[in-house]
Structure 1
Amino acid sequence: MKSNVLRTAQDGLRCLSRRPITHNSKIVCQSYRSFISTPTCKERKWTTPLAKQLTEAINTTGPIPLASYMRMCLTSDTGGYYTGAIEEGRDQFGRKGDFITSPEISQIFGELVGIWFVAEWLSQGRPKQGVELIEVGPGRGTLMDDMLRTMRNFKDMASSIATVYMVEASAELRTAQKNLLCGEDAVMTESKIGWHSTSKYSGLPVVWTDSIKAIPQDPSKTPFIVAHEFFDALPIHAFQVVEVAPTQQSQTTNSDSSTQSSDSSATSTTPTRQWREMVVSPTPRGTTHADLGTPKSEQHEPVPEFQLTLSPSVTRHAQYVPESSPRYRALKSMPGALIEVCPDASLYASDFASRIGGSSAHSHLNAKPRPSGAALILDYGPADTIPTNSLRGIRRHRRVSPFADPGLVDLSADVDFGAVAEAATRASGGVECHGPVDQAFFLEAMGIRQRAEMLARSLGSAGAGVEDKKKELERSWKRLVDRGPGGMGKVYKVLAILPENGGRRRPVGFGGDVSAQ
């Protein structure tokens, strides 16, 4: 997931601002080309080493796709948010960090996710061996720790687990996960696949990889995959529909592209609509918050070092990415339409699906005698629409500009659950998708209230601080299912990828119940 700056600047994926782009072509083109007059790195003081490196890349290649910017900010070797070490002792998670996730809010969250996989194990015939637990983007390891602690209460299920895989690019987070899952004194060894240690729960082998592709796809295995707040951190492309006059069409096509879309025909005599890509360039000196349209809530900050603009020509990404799905193509008839597309999300969804149901494209390479396993994706985003203007920056629990202090700000964007489901079912005919459903619906169906009451009773009725602990327990679980405006129970969604069964069985948490085979 780590990449060289210049290579990333040329072939990265996508991102987006939270504000509509001005349609005035003069303003767009002037803003796009302003990076040419940006002061050199020697003349300008940058907030982070990554800011300087990004500027050097842009000065070499021109404005970069939003995806390239987002990828560098999160995973660059030069002070990426998850892979760098700009601020000594920085912890991204928890109340002292930048944000807090559901597993950190309450242990009940991880327990119920663990129970969901136990229910799937039961429904799929209680396989006695070959179960793989895979988590992508495990954070500090809290979710997997709660899952393993819960699963050990189901001895047959626990004994069927062969390996726990943790897909993590950050060396610092791998260490934190090892300390939690295996113990601080546990040894971590390295191999061609990744890093290995032994879980404190029943001595299970734990393997860390920096890519899911490093995990072998064995058709005999039963993979149980969880992705919590992982897809929202994948780089996104952003595109806008613009109307191009006949005299401009021959001038706006990317000259280094090997093919030209029909929309860019030089002989056209009528206005046509084209997809244009959002790109990032340094903010020129003298730019104000008003120039950038910065929300008032963020105007206490210095003007962001980078800005979002609209490419004046058709980039290679703009030629094929918005044409990759009928969902996107349908919006091309709407002038000014904005979309966010995450190819990386489709790649991960396809990987999950091929592990569970076998691969449609290469069935002879990954032929599963019978689909098995499950993937549970928990993240935020709309249930049935394509995200737009959703890129956000978070630092110290506040919304900040995603274009300021690169490497120190967490970047994320809404997940397109429709695209995830589409990619999964396209990749394998052996899977089907359920959801997305609201997190509140899922957790309540899994018994969050009942589990909270059980924990409250276990605290007893007397003793120092018991009432405070009970109040905190109640506050925590109710926060997870809050259906108010912006509440986690409504904003967060849950999607499941399961073995195809003709829709005859709905899984637990999605309106169904356990039906053991």
Structure 2
Amino acid sequence: MRATSLNLVRSAIRCARPKAVSCRNAPVGVRWSSTIGTGEKQWSTPLAKALAGAITTTGPVSVASYMRQCLTSPDGGYYTRQSDGHDQFGAKGDFITSPEISQVFGELVGIWLYTEWLAQGKKDQVQIIEVGPGRGTLMDDVLRTISSFKPFAQSISAIYLIEASPHLRKQQAKLLTSTDTFSTSDLGESASSKHIPNCSITWCEDIRFVPKEETSTPFILAHEFFDALPIHIFQITASSKIPASATILTPTGPITPKTGPQVPKNQWHELVVAPITSSTPTTTTTTIEKDGDGAASTSKDPPPDFHLTVSKTPTPHSLYLPQTSQRYKALEKIPEAIIEISPESLSYISDFAVRIGGSKPPSLSTSKPSAQTSSQTYTPTSSTTTPTYRKSHPSGAALILDYGPSSTIPANTLRGIRSHRPCSPFILPGHVDLSADVDFLGLAESALKASPGVEVHGPVEQAFFLGTMGIKERAERLLKGTKDEEVRRRLEGAWKRLVDRGPTGMGRIYKAMAIVPFREGEEVRRPVGFGGHVVG
């Protein structure tokens, strides 16, 4: 879902791009100069300078636009820039993910897929799809595990990896394929899987390129994917002012806000990103750390290039998105309430649901816009609705593993991570990982709205999911076969880290959620890992 403002930002970025310096390999320590307003401003990265120039031209941008540019801009984005020797993942990078901590994690995910395949009657024409596969570590462990279950492995007809970064696609291909020779098709690049005989892995930039086939059974994995998708942030603002006759065009129809004395006392405004100028109050973040000897030391982050500010009037996004769910509407009377909404996340989860259960038939009803309402949700006509994808026999499953609250709407969760420690999301654009908590209940709600043929289980804590999948038993088997004490110590610490339920433990903070087929008249079946048992 790409807003017009994003296209303007990209256009302005192209115009503001420095000519003499490559954004992809620029050193982090250099400050980049430009003139913003009055006086010369120093920017921490070329991407920061380009963003500032674009914002000066178009005005403050949404957090979603800022995140998208910082993470995936072809000219210096965190995931898309040339690595110049820096790896985002692992102990030497900025963060470490569960598959990097222990091979057991990916093995259990592979076993979960196998149990779903059994429970659904051993379907053929299976598609394995992973969105945001990182370095490919999870998929490597999953496919290696699946290869041990020959009938399941033989049922797999295609493997798709959804990855926007050319640099990461190369890393994934090196790990997952047995050849350096790629074939090219309309979908993307392909190569043979080293784990699943006679099966190709295809890389696509967007899941929409992956074909939907009524006879296919898609098994979809999303591990630490949704937390990196752009979010919009909204805050209830008292005595909001909406310009007269400000008709807003939205995907579901036009909105004509109230004006004059009819304006609501409280209205959602969007938090937007603006450059920090010489007149903007700033603070320097000091982080207290401990060195190898346990002695305290301090490190200072560079000053941020940008900051958040409340939009002076409601934006098109603030008039539309908070009206899409009763959960958001319930907060309208709470002064200064803040919510985070990720339209891309809701779009992706809806796609997952449709692939598994088919889509709902388009509605033929229409509604006439009313000038007497500040916001209105309209039912799209059949001409504007995505064509119906019919699936007479729902099949497949999606497994989402990420962090966020179980039932509340995320608020104030935008964060930056660099060198394994938190930092401001507004420093060193393009060199800092940005993420936000996942709204699991929002994902579940969108999946159920998108398809009549699915049901949602979870979220459950990662400790519960991995515990019921048998992580302790699998770790004990590995430990029995290992005599090296150092290796044993690492194995033991790794699996316990994954299920740690302390206040900040991964077993508590990370959640698992599943989307599985639903058929009218059949008894609800809980999947393995969500309170169910192996069947089939």
Q: TM-score, normalised by structure 1?
A: 0.87
Any idea what SS the aligned residue of 1:335 has? Answer: coil
Any idea what SS the aligned residue of 2:323 has? Answer: coil
Matched with 1:450 is 473
Partners of 1:71 and 1:486 in 2: CA distance: 27
Partners of 2:281 and 2:399 in 1: CA distance: 44
Contact 1:131/1:161 (8 A) holds in 2: yes
Equivalent position to 2:532, from 504, 512, 515: 512
- The letter of the residue matching 1:161 is I
Equivalent position to 2:426, from 383, 400, 403: 403
What is the deviation of 1:169? 0.3
User: Does residue 1:54 correspond to 2:17, yes or no?
Assistant: no
Structure 1 window deviating more from structure 2 (352-361 vs 430-439): it is: 352-361
Contact 1:70/1:235 (8 A) holds in 2: yes
**Alignment CA distance shift 1:158-1:43 (3 Å):** same
Query: Cα deviation per residue 1:457-514 (whole Å; 9 max; x = unaligned)?
Result: 122x4xxxx1111111000000000000110000000000000146621110000102
Structure 1 window deviating more from structure 2 (270-279 vs 71-80): it is: 270-279
Structure 1 window deviating more from structure 2 (355-364 vs 472-481): it is: 355-364
Matched with 1:30 is none
What is the deviation of 1:2? 10
- The letter of the residue matching 2:190 is H
Any idea what SS the aligned residue of 1:312 has? Answer: coil
- The letter of the residue matching 1:495 is M
- The letter of the residue matching 1:196 is S
Matched with 2:370 is none
What is the deviation of 1:234? 0.2
Q: List alignment gaps of at least 5 residues for structure 1.
A: 12-36
Any idea what SS the aligned residue of 2:526 has? Answer: coil
Query: Cα deviation per residue 1:413-454 (whole Å; 9 max; x = unaligned)?
Result: 000001100110100000000000000000000000000000
Partners of 2:265 and 2:286 in 1: CA distance: 33
**Alignment CA distance shift 1:271-1:366 (3 Å):** closer
Partners of 2:128 and 2:310 in 1: CA distance: 42
Equivalent position to 1:266, from 247, 260, 272: 260
What is the deviation of 1:89? 1.5
User: Does residue 1:307 correspond to 2:307, yes or no?
Assistant: yes
What is the deviation of 1:367? 1.1
Contact 2:361/2:388 (8 A) holds in 1: no
- Kindly tell me the number of residue pairs found equivalent between the two proteins: 475
Any idea what SS the aligned residue of 1:331 has? Answer: coil
**Alignment CA distance shift 1:256-1:265 (3 Å):** closer
Partners of 2:286 and 2:407 in 1: CA distance: 27
Partners of 1:480 and 1:265 in 2: CA distance: 53
Matched with 1:484 is 502
What is the deviation of 1:336? 0.9
Any idea what SS the aligned residue of 2:330 has? Answer: helix
Matched with 1:380 is 403
Contact 1:431/1:497 (8 A) holds in 2: yes
Contact 1:6/1:57 (8 A) holds in 2: no
**Alignment CA distance shift 1:261-1:338 (3 Å):** farther
Contact 2:286/2:301 (8 A) holds in 1: no
- The letter of the residue matching 2:154 is S
Query: Cα deviation per residue 1:223-275 (whole Å; 9 max; x = unaligned)?
Result: 0000000000000000001110xxx6355x7957466655x42133x861100
Query: Cα deviation per residue 1:354-384 (whole Å; 9 max; x = unaligned)?
Result: 0000011459742112000000000000001
**Alignment CA distance shift 1:361-1:67 (3 Å):** farther
**Alignment CA distance shift 1:3-1:239 (3 Å):** closer
Matched with 2:381 is none
Partners of 2:190 and 2:266 in 1: CA distance: 52
**Alignment CA distance shift 1:473-1:69 (3 Å):** same
Q: What RMSD in Å do the two structures reach over aligned CA positions?
A: 2.5
Structure 1 window deviating more from structure 2 (221-230 vs 507-516): it is: 507-516
Any idea what SS the aligned residue of 2:331 has? Answer: helix
What is the deviation of 1:186? 2.5
Equivalent position to 2:183, from 175, 184, 189: 189
What is the deviation of 1:173? 0.5
**Alignment CA distance shift 1:256-1:405 (3 Å):** farther
Matched with 2:227 is 232
Query: Cα deviation per residue 1:81-107 (whole Å; 9 max; x = unaligned)?
Result: 01112x511210000110000000000
Partners of 2:395 and 2:347 in 1: CA distance: 20
Q: What is the correspondence of 1:83-482 to structure 2 with a 5 Å cutoff?
A: 83-85=80-82, 88-127=84-123, 129-183=124-178, 185-201=179-195, 202-244=197-239, 249-250=241-242, 255=246, 257=248, 262=257, 264-268=258-262, 272-285=265-278, 287-290=280-283, 300-361=300-361, 365-459=388-482, 461=483, 466-482=484-500
**Alignment CA distance shift 1:220-1:133 (3 Å):** same
- Give the number of the structure with larger relative contact order, counting CA–CA contacts within 8 Å between residues 6 or more apart: 1
Partners of 1:49 and 1:266 in 2: CA distance: 44
**Alignment CA distance shift 1:55-1:447 (3 Å):** same
Partners of 1:278 and 1:6 in 2: CA distance: 16
Partners of 1:177 and 1:368 in 2: CA distance: 32
Matched with 2:26 is none
Contact 1:8/1:68 (8 A) holds in 2: no
- The letter of the residue matching 1:249 is K
Partners of 1:256 and 1:132 in 2: CA distance: 44
Any idea what SS the aligned residue of 1:333 has? Answer: coil
Contact 1:254/1:314 (8 A) holds in 2: no
What is the deviation of 1:328? 0.5
Contact 1:6/1:61 (8 A) holds in 2: no
Contact 1:41/1:52 (8 A) holds in 2: no
What is the deviation of 1:191? 1.6
- The letter of the residue matching 2:49 is K
Any idea what SS the aligned residue of 1:143 has? Answer: helix
Any idea what SS the aligned residue of 2:40 has? Answer: coil
Contact 2:8/2:58 (8 A) holds in 1: no
Any idea what SS the aligned residue of 2:77 has? Answer: coil
What is the deviation of 1:296? 6.2
What is the deviation of 1:310? 0.4
Q: Percent identity?
A: 52
